[in-house]
Structure formats: structure tokens, C-alpha cells
Amino acid sequence: MQPHANHAGCPFAAAAAAAAVGGAGGDAEPTAAPSIPMAPPAGKPITLGDLREFPADPAACMMRLYRKHGSLAQLRAEDGMSLTFVFSPELNRTVLSDGKRFHSKFFAIRGSRRSAQRRVTSGLLTMNGADHKRHRRMVMEPFSKRIMPAYHEAICDLTADLLNDWTPGGAIDLHEEMNGYMRKLTSAILFGLDDPELAYRTGEKIDRWVHLNHNTGLGALVSDAGYLESYDELLDLAESLEGDIEAMIKARRGRPPGRDVLSILIDAAEQDPEGGGITDSELIGHVTLLFGAAHLTTAHSLTWTLFLLAQHPEIARTLAREVAAGVAGDAATPGEADALPLLDQVIKESMRCLPASGYSQRLTAETVELGPLTLAPGSTVIFSQYVTHHLPELYADPMRFTPERWEDLKPPSYGYIPFGSGPRLCLGAMLATTVLKTVIPSVLKRYRLSCVTDSTVNAKIVSTMLGPTTTVPMEVHPADGLWQHRPVHGNVNTLVDLSHTHAQPLRKAA
Ligand code: HEM
């Protein structure tokens, strides 16, 4: 049993924070233990401290390190274990574009070699080099542009169901609504619409499994004896999950090709021009990863975008007008959505201010010199969307939600990375953008949302994903254009500046 192990550079890296602190393990190259310095070596961007500061509050910890050291920083513990952070576009490029020296590693808990846990964690993120390249080409297939219309139909149907359940004058927890919506949508897109209940149940299991991976990782980190129990539960759940997905693979093989991701993947694997295809256990790993990668990231992005609109009434009102003028039916067609400039700016700005993927990480595959730092093989290097997106040299007044900045802003490459960049660029970016560009206009066509006065909205980067840790209470009103700013409490105010937003001017009305 190996609950302490390594992690992936992905929003799905459920136990990533814990694993990052756990350091190299699993089947990684061992990290050489450097001698223990009593004070940081002079001239090096090193802070000596407790590595648990990082998972305790990743955004605050990274911001502290950035303020102290600038774009390269290392947090080093007394025992010599360290986490190295890069924040600038140039250093992001160094780390993200070089898959040979900077490996992705799936999150900690891989299970023993023949366990179901090992197989469900055998997705793209455990692969590097030629293996990753070959599998990525096959896994890419269901996310190509020509397949998007099939998903758009499912997105519209489920959006209509969601919005039919809201009533003007009623209240919702936006966080819960968006999570539930994305669980249904991800299940439908991945596993098909012909057995939505089985698809949804499997989705629920994957969610639970992701959650347990995180808890088990953290439990191991803080030496909580309870983690052993959750580790057993995790292994049981992995077996049950594997059984469900195996049954679905078997059922798909007996049928004409379907339009869900699983069917397209089975097909792509059978036609792999290089031969080799995808084994069933690799398929199980890919599908589990895809679910985890898609669900919470997109749900958080939806929640943050609608929350930020409710906090910025001028922008919401102008966007609602743009939508009313540019969308003929209840839901925007892809063509209509692409012709809404403010919608595009709002989504870009929301993913800049509150990026659903707050950081990701790599492991050095060999000794690497990074500025004045020498990193031994197996060292953890973290890059952060949250910090890079708040660099004042890239984004004026970075704490403010200002969609109109995107009218003429062209950040340098690797300076705006909500979906990562380089050889591991998010495969679902187009799908996630289609979801955002369909759901947001549909909500605005039917409703106006306002935050509940004096409610508390807290947020944190958990398992690499920046999402709410509380409810996000909203009042639902008819689409009457009367958007109002209602202040909220909570630490979301430390992540994005929500003060005086009602007075914020919008330079150009749509
Ligand atoms: C708003 C929603 C999303 C965000 C913010 C997001 C973000 C990211 C980021 C930052 C990475 C790169 C991680 C790294 O370099 O370590 C990534 C990778 C990935 N994402 Fe997404 N993602 C989203 C939605 C999706 C969806 C909908 C899917 C698929 C259904 C998906 C599938 C993947 C996969 C498979 C990878 C790994 C690619 C590889 O290693 O080659 N993501 N995502």
C-alpha cells in the first residue's frame, strides 16, 4: 500500500497537494535528499518553512512566495524536501513546453500494480514521452471540432432541464446547481444518453472516488490514522468503478458506433494507424481521467462566471442585452455564441480572475537547472494559473474583474493559461468553452441572478481546482434587467476585488 506517492499536473490531480508535499514516491525516481540548510542559501529564492503551508491554502502560499521572491521560488522544509514554483510566462514556457525534462505524474494514490486502483489511474496523465503522444492522439478524437455539434445538442437539452427547475422569486445554491448540471452533462457526453441513469450513477461514483483520493492523500499527509479506512474504501470504489466501465465497454462493442466519448474512443483505438490501440484497462483509465478533468473544472468556471456577473451589474446588464439581441431561441447556436464579443470577454476574464485550475505540477525527470536552483530528479515543480493571471506586468489592476480589457489585450504566450499550454494543453478546452458559451446566455435570456445579501462565499484551491468551499446562494428573478450589486462576505473577496463594483464603468457598451 502506497498512499504517499506522486501527483499529476492536472486539475484532476485529486491528492495533488498532499502528494506534492509527500514528494517523490510510487514508481518515480527517488529524490536525492540534500543536506539540511539552517538558513536559506544566500542569493537563492528559497523560503524555509513547513510544506503543509501549501495545501493549507495554495493561493495564499503561492502569492506570498511570489511577493517575496518574484517569478521563481522554492519552499524548502527542514528535511530537505522542497516545492519549486514558477510564475512568469518565460518560466511557464520552460516547464510546460519540455515534456522530456518535466514529466507529468498522475496523482498520488496509484495502488499496487495489479489493483483496480492502478488501472483506473492509467489515463493520459500517467503517460509521458512516446506513450503519451500516441494515446493523446487517440483520446483527442472525441474532442475534435466535427464532433462538437453532437455534444451541443446534449448541452442545450440539459440546460433547458436545469433552467425549467428554477423559479422566479426562488433561491438556489449556484455551486450545487452547476455541479449537478455538469455531472449529468459529463455522464451523458462520456457514456451516452441511451442509459442516462447508469451513466449518472457511474459519474457519481467517479466524483466520490476523486473526493476520496483527495481525502486519503491529505490524511496520509497529516498522519491521520483515519486515512487507512478511506484508503480501503478508495480501493473498493475503484473496483466497483472499473466493473461499471468494463460493462459499458462490453455493451458498446456489440452495438453500432455511438456518439459518446467512450464509443468514439473504442473506435479510434481499433483504427490506430500505429497499431497497439488502447487496452481495456487503459480505456478505463482514460475515461476516469476525462470525467474527473471535465466535471468540476467546468462546473467551477460556470459558477464563477455567473457569480462575477451577479457582482458586476453593469456588465451583466450589457451582456444580457447583447444576448437578447444576438440569440434567437432559448439557447445560443455555436454561430450565435461566437458572434457575442462581450460574452467572449466575460468568459476570458472570469477564467483569468478565478481560474478553475489554480495550479498544476510536473516532476523533473533528470537534474534540472532552473535559474539559480539545481533540482534533483523527481523534484516537484508547480506552475500556477492563479498567480500568472495576476501578474501586474501582464494585467493592469489584476484583482479587478474587467472584461473590456480583452478588447485589445494580447497576453504573451504562456501568460494566459486557463487550459494549460504546450504538449499537455487541455483536450477538453473546446468542449468546456462550448458549455460556457451555451449555458451563460441561456441563463441570461430567462433570468436575472442576484447574490443573497450578507451571504458568505469562501473559496480554495482543492486538488488543484479553485472552487467554492461554501454554498453560493443566489436569488432568481425574471429577466427584467434590474441587476443589482449585493455584497458578500467570505474569502472570495481576497481572491478577486469585489469592492465598489456597482460603480465600475464599462468603457464600451455592446
Ligand atoms: C473549464 C474547464 C476546464 C479547465 C479549466 C481545464 C484545465 C486544464 C488544464 C490547466 C490542463 C493542463 C494540465 C497540465 O498541464 O498539467 C488540462 C488538461 C487536460 N484536460 Fe482540461 N480543463 C477543463 C475541461 C476539460 C474537459 C471538459 C475535458 C474533457 C472532457 C478535459 C480533459 C483534459 C485532459 C484529458 C487533459 C490532459 C491532457 C494531457 O495530459 O495530454 N478538460 N485541463
CATH number for the domain harbouring residue 218: 1.10.630.10
C-alpha of 234 from chain center:
21
Question: Taking residues 132-138, what's their average pLDDT?
Answer: 92
Total number of domains constituting the chain: 1
Residue 59: inside a domain, yes or no? no
Residues in CB range of 405: below 8 A, 6 or more apart: 345, 349, 395, 396
- Dump pLDDT digits (tens) for 385-405: 999 999 999 999 999 999 999
Gap from CA of 293 to ligand 1 centroid (Å): 6
pLDDT digits (tens, 9 = 90+) for 166-205: 999 999 999 999 999 999 999 899 888 667 788 788 888 8
Minimum-distance ligand 1 atom for the alpha carbon of 433: 1
Residue 56 inside a domain? The answer is no
For the Cβ of 303 lying below 6 angstroms from any atom of ligand 1, the answer is: no
Hey, what amino acid is at 91?
A: L
Distance 505 CA to ligand 1 centre (A): 34
Q: Among 185-194, 429-438, 497-506, which is the least confidently predicted range?
A: 497-506
Ligand 1 centroid–CA 289 distance in Å is 9
Ligand 1 in reach of 347 Cβ (< 6 A) = no
Give the distance (Å) from ligand 1 centre to CA of residue 235: 25
219 close to ligand 1 (CB < 6 Angstrom): no
Cβ of 136 closer than 6 Å to ligand 1, yes or no, is: yes
Whether 258 contacts 241, CB under 8 Å? no
Q: How high is the pLDDT of residue 192?
A: 80
Tell me the mean pLDDT in the region 133-155: 91
Cβ of 464 closer than 6 Å to ligand 1, yes or no, is no
Q: Is 357 domain-assigned?
A: yes
A 10 A CB-CB count for 409 gives: 16
pLDDT, tens digit, 9 for 90 and up, residues 224-280? 556 667 888 899 999 999 998 888 888 888 777 778 898 888 888 887 767 678 888
Q: Residue 505: pLDDT band by 50, 70, 90 thresholds?
A: very low
User: What's the mean per-residue pLDDT of the chain?
Assistant: 86
Q: What is the pLDDT of residue 10?
A: 37
User: Averaged over 421-447, what is the pLDDT?
Assistant: 97
Render pLDDT for 466-500 as a digit per residue (tens, 0 to 9). 999 999 999 999 999 999 999 999 999 999 999 96
* Site to substitute for ligand 1 among 185, 421, 426, 437, most atoms within 8 A of C-beta: 426
Give the up-direction half-sphere exposure of residue 319: CA atoms within 13 A in the CB hemisphere: 29
Render pLDDT for 410-423 as a digit per residue (tens, 0 to 9): 999 999 999 999 99
- Count CA atoms closer than 13 A to 81's CA, side-chain side: 15
- How far away, in angstroms, is 458 Cα from ligand 1 center? 24
What residue's CA is closest to ligand 1, atom 36? Answer: 426
Ligand 1 within 6 A of CB of 285: no
- Output the pLDDT for position 251: 81
Cα–Cα distance measured from residue 284 to residue 243, given in angstroms and rounded to the nearest whole number: 10
Nearest in space to 397 (alpha carbons), one of 315, 308, 504: 504
User: Does residue 104 lie in a domain region?
Assistant: no
pLDDT band at 330 (very low <50, low <70, confident <90, very high): very high
The answer, yes or no, to whether any atom of ligand 1 lies below 6 A from the CB of 15, is no
β-strands 360-364, 465-468 pairing: unpaired
pLDDT grade for 107, boundaries at 50, 70 and 90: low
Q: Is the distance from the beta carbon of residue 297 to the nearest atom of ligand 1 less than 6 Å?
A: yes
Q: Is residue 200 part of a domain?
A: yes
Better-scored residue on pLDDT, 69 or 2: 69
Residue type, 394: L
- What's residue 334's pLDDT? 93
Residue 166 forms part of a structural domain: yes
Distance CA 367, CA 374 (A): 7
For the cut 60, the answer to whether the pLDDT of residue 36 exceeds it is no
Q: Is the CB of 310 under 6 A from ligand 1?
A: no
Does residue 317 carry a pLDDT above 80? yes
Range of the domain at 239: 132-503
Annotation-wise, does 426 bind a ligand?
yes
Across the range 127-146, mean pLDDT stands at 91
What letters, b where the CB count within 10 A reaches 16 and e where it falls short, cover 253-262? eeeeebbbbb
- Mean pLDDT check: name the lowest of 67-71, 434-438, 459-463: 459-463
Closest CA to 474 of 343, 289, 319, 305: 305
Output the nine-digit C-alpha cell for 158: 440539459
424 C-alpha vs ligand 1 centroid, how far in Å? 8
Residue 107 domain flag: no
Range with lowest mean pLDDT among 72-81, 280-289, 446-455, 474-483: 280-289
Within a domain: 328: yes
DSSP bridge partners of 489: 456
Q: What's the 503 CA to ligand 1 centre distance in angstroms? A: 36
